[in-house]
Amino acid sequence: MKLFDDVSNFTASPKIYGVLFLISFFGYMFFNQAISITDPVESNYALTAKEMVLSADWVSPRIYGNVWFDKPILFYWLTALSFQLFGFSEWAARLAPALFAAVGVVLLYWFVSKTNTRRSALLAVVIMGTSFEYILLAKLVITDMVFFVFNCAALGFFYLGYVKMDGTKRWYLAAYVSMALAVLTKGPIGVLLPTLVMLLVILLQRNWTELKEMYLLTGVLLFAIVALPWYAAMYTLHGMEFINNFFGVHNYLRATVSEHPKDNVSYYYLAVFVLSMLPWSALAVKALIQGYKDLRSRKSPLLLFLFLWITAYFGFYSLMATKYLTYTFPILFPVAILTAIQLERMLAQGKTKEIFYWIGVPAALLMVGYMIAAYRYLAGWELGLATAGLLLFLVFSVWKARNRTAVDVFKLLCLCQLGSYIILSLFIFPAIAESRSGKEIAKSMVDLGVEKIGMYQFYSTSAVFYSGKVAIKLIPSSEVTFRQAKELDWSSKYTMPTQGIVEFGAKPPLSDRLIIVRGKQREQFLLETARFNYQLLKDSKGLSYYSIKE
């Protein structure tokens, strides 16, 4: 492997983009067919895309047969198109995130090779592409990876236009289109945050004349042509219901009222950053500190741009009421670049021990975390094989790192990352997904041959996705009244069919109704339905299946 010893020959050919894309794409798609669709998030996107195909309505996203205003249309289009071409499967559902993850890798390499050295571009790709959050979101059926690509493309194109890369400012036009696609993926935030970064760059450099060269009128027109037709169509079809739900609940409410109050802690995104960048977290912190020192000692448009990008996203989402693990995901792009610059410097200086400690120790801790996950979710030969593999890579890396050059140690750590990823994809990811999926519930729903189904005080959307049978969630009647009384409330985002428990208890459901109960709620269910003659049909994996006796 002379990849990091003499990268110039390897990267001189345009074929590098195709090679990076193919390696990344097939890597992120590896064993995806074995990873079940999980609750509560993935299943919403998968089911909505499935209903889009079945209903042939490619304008209004639907779930449980009802129009759903949670996210814009683009991710649903991508997933629905995959279903249309390849069928309703885990592999097809995970195609779009993996595809865009590969595009993100190529985008990063292309941007860094234009603004820095080719070696730092390749290092940045390795850092971002193997970081824990990037690997995870490359496989999850959610909008974040697609949004990441358009978001980073918008800011990347802006910077190239700002510094007049290749002697032209037409990069700005690509930035406007990228922001429009981001808005079609995740909403107004797709234009708000990139615009904030752009304005901060211009403000701090007092370069107001740049606004005249940004093709503002043409750019706004391009943005409108790409982004607005779907929004206009939704307003035409659904009127104020679309405005109140999409902009009210899913945007305004998200910013002002916390959906998960327990996450409202000052260190939330610091902890997310450490986890998301593993095993590069320690080196990334070192790179941020060194990069800030470099920025203070010399004027660098690239360093200023990268730090403003990180600060704007980190600060904005820290101020928002609702916090999610994936909100600050786009900062991995600039952080990977800064970390690559630091790593390139360390490799050039031959700092073997520093590289081993700054990368190897976090990598070892990450492997320990994988072993803990293996013990929790695996059993039998799978547990033994996964644990042995992780331990083997851990011991092998420590043993082989002795008396090696900095480049040798780095390549060894990359090899260990590859081995860990293979074990994750083969064993740990599928086991975790199975524990969070309703695939087994769906199988029981189909095998029992009952059409009318109720889920007692829980709901599995993935069971609906796999079975094709829409169940009713049985909830307290007070909760039904509360949902009807308030429009702008988090409860309004849940659109599954519901029925009050008191209403349900007043008279027995139809004889062909199947009731699914979690083990911890079984006693309460039997107490509330004591007047009716329910029989247990099946107990499986902590779930009980009941029907009323004839």
What average pLDDT score do residues 9-37 get? 85
pLDDT at 537 over 70: yes
pLDDT per position as a tens digit, 137-153: 999 999 999 999 999 99
Q: Quote the tokens at residue 332.
A: 């991995």
pLDDT class for 250, splitting at 50, 70, 90? low
pLDDT per position as a tens digit, 456-468: 889 999 999 999 9
pLDDT at 510 over 60: no
Tokens 């509560």 -> residue: 40
**Mapping DSSP to helix (H, G, I), strand (E, B) and coil, where does residue 298 land?**
coil
What average pLDDT score do residues 282-308 get? 92
pLDDT per position as a tens digit, 5-21: 444 444 446 788 999 99
Region label for 543, one of left (φ > 0), alpha (ψ between -120 and 50) or beta (otherwise)? beta
Cα 131 from Cα 331, distance rounded (Å): 12
What average pLDDT score do residues 105-125 get? 95
- Predicted pLDDT of residue 3: 43
Whole-number Cα distances in Å, 278 to 138, 291, 305: 15, 19, 24
pLDDT class for 412, splitting at 50, 70, 90? confident
Cα 267 from Cα 272, distance rounded (Å): 9
Tell me the HSE value of 547 on the side-chain side, using a 13 A CA sphere: 16
pLDDT per position as a tens digit, 46-102: 999 999 999 999 999 999 988 988 899 999 999 999 999 999 999 999 999 999 999
Tell me the HSE value of 314 on the side-chain side, using a 13 A CA sphere: 18
- Predicted pLDDT of residue 396: 66
- Predicted pLDDT of residue 258: 65
What average pLDDT score do residues 331-359 get? 91
- Predicted pLDDT of residue 502: 58
What average pLDDT score do residues 108-126 get? 94
Pick from 37-46, 214-223, 305-314, 497-506: least confident: 497-506
* Nearest by Cα to 277 from 364, 341, 362, 361: 362
pLDDT class for 488, splitting at 50, 70, 90? low
**% residues pLDDT > 90 (the chain):** 53
pLDDT at 122 over 50: yes
What average pLDDT score do residues 295-314 get? 91
Strands (E), 9-80: 62-63, 66-67
pLDDT at 491 over 70: no
Q: Quote the tokens at residue 454.
A: 């109720």
pLDDT at 512 over 70: no
- Predicted pLDDT of residue 386: 72
pLDDT at 503 over 70: no
pLDDT at 455 over 50: yes
Cα 353 from Cα 401, distance rounded (Å): 9
Between 73 and 2, name the one with better pLDDT: 73
- Predicted pLDDT of residue 497: 83
Tell me how many degrees the CA angle 188-193-196 measures, rounded to the nearest 5.
125
pLDDT per position as a tens digit, 150-194: 999 999 999 999 998 888 899 999 999 999 999 999 999 999 999
What average pLDDT score do residues 397-414 get? 72
Whether residue 277 contacts residue 362, with contact meaning beta carbons closer than 8 Å, is answered with no
Cα 520 from Cα 458, distance rounded (Å): 11
What average pLDDT score do residues 370-388 get? 80
pLDDT at 494 over 70: no
- How high does pLDDT run on average in the chain? 86
What are the backbone angles phi and psi of residue 521, rounded to the nearest 5°? -110, 5
pLDDT at 535 over 90: no
Region label for 35, one of left (φ > 0), alpha (ψ between -120 and 50) or beta (otherwise)? beta
Total length of the chain: 550
Q: 74-86 and 144-162 are packed helices; what angle lies between their axes, rounded to 10 degrees?
A: 120
Between 477 and 226, name the one with better pLDDT: 226
pLDDT at 272 over 70: yes
- Predicted pLDDT of residue 259: 66
For residue 485, the tally of other CB atoms under 10 A from its CB is 9
pLDDT at 300 over 90: no
Whether residue 308 contacts residue 201, with contact meaning beta carbons closer than 8 Å, is answered with yes
Domain coordinates of the chain in residue numbers?
A: 16-266, 374-434, 438-548
- Predicted pLDDT of residue 93: 97
- Predicted pLDDT of residue 55: 94
Pick from 113-117, 272-276, 314-318, 532-536: least confident: 532-536
Between 207 and 151, name the one with better pLDDT: 151
pLDDT at 22 over 60: yes
**% residues pLDDT > 70 (the chain):** 87
